[in-house]
Chains A and B, each alone.
Chain A
Amino acid sequence: MARGGQQILRGVDLAVAPGTWTALVGRNGAGKSTLLRVLKGIERPDAGGVYLGSGPLEGPDPRIGLVLDSPEDQGVAPVVEDDIAFGLELQGLPPAEIGRRVGEVLGRLDIAGLRKRPAHTLSGGQAQKVALAAVLVLGARFLLLDESLAHLSPPERDRVLLDLEGLRSGGLGLVLATHRADEVLWADRVVWLEQGRVRFLGAPEELFALPECPWAGYGERCRRAGVPPGGAAFRAWAVMGQGL
């Protein structure tokens, strides 16, 4: 991928399996958002390709959900429930089924009270949860989250992370772009992009052990505090409610 003659992504190889959690980190401008847009199929790479299952990805696919950091960018309807229902209406589902699924996803994210609210009256965090609901309701098998938790308050974020873990254990493949070390901990592995290349690919604790990593030493701090250093162990610990 290139922008204005400058390469944004160069030779990135990445596979995301169902039921796994990948964290995507890197400086501003490293290519994280672009990679997610390519994976979603809304940007075409100049070379290489994206494959879903056995076939190449030809364009945007409802099996892959993308949630942006600014939810206003993906809202389509003025009222919350209509916004979430929009994708289901496109699929031609009967209204009763749409209503049921919208109610279910609102309940799952603990925002049932927002159902009738005009979208423009939501706070940043509330709007982000609505955007997440609108993607989840379509039954996506892969979820790409572009700093989607950045505007949530800590308790809201923790709740969404637990929701995401529930989705992952149900077989969803997750890719979460983030600037926070404590969100990296949730991932099985981390992709560190630098100037469009994969600089590092490995487990969170391996990333934290790199002296040049911006969070060098975080793994050691976790160990001292008795927090599992990432992946399945951390998620099990978090789900058990220790520290959450």
Chain B
Amino acid sequence: MNKKLPVLCPSCSSELKVQSLHCDNCETTINGLYHLPLLLKLDQKEQYFIILFIQSSGSLKIMAQKLKFSYPTVRNMLDDLIKKINKLQTEIS
């Protein structure tokens, strides 16, 4: 099953933080309080978009061919993602 990483609290919608990390091999557990990296705060579709963008060497034309969307549709998706990342960065700082 492909589990979705929750980034917002289901109770109050505040941003979640990492409290515990676990090693499956030696069963070591680390407890602390860590912020989620910015990329993990994006949803799965947006993360896939970024991976595809890198794999396409940043070419929106190649991405449009791969996604079978028109060029302006892909450009709009990128612009929306840039806007979201800028907003998240502002919230962090």
Are A and B bound to each other? Answer: no
Interface residues of B (CB under 8 A from A): none
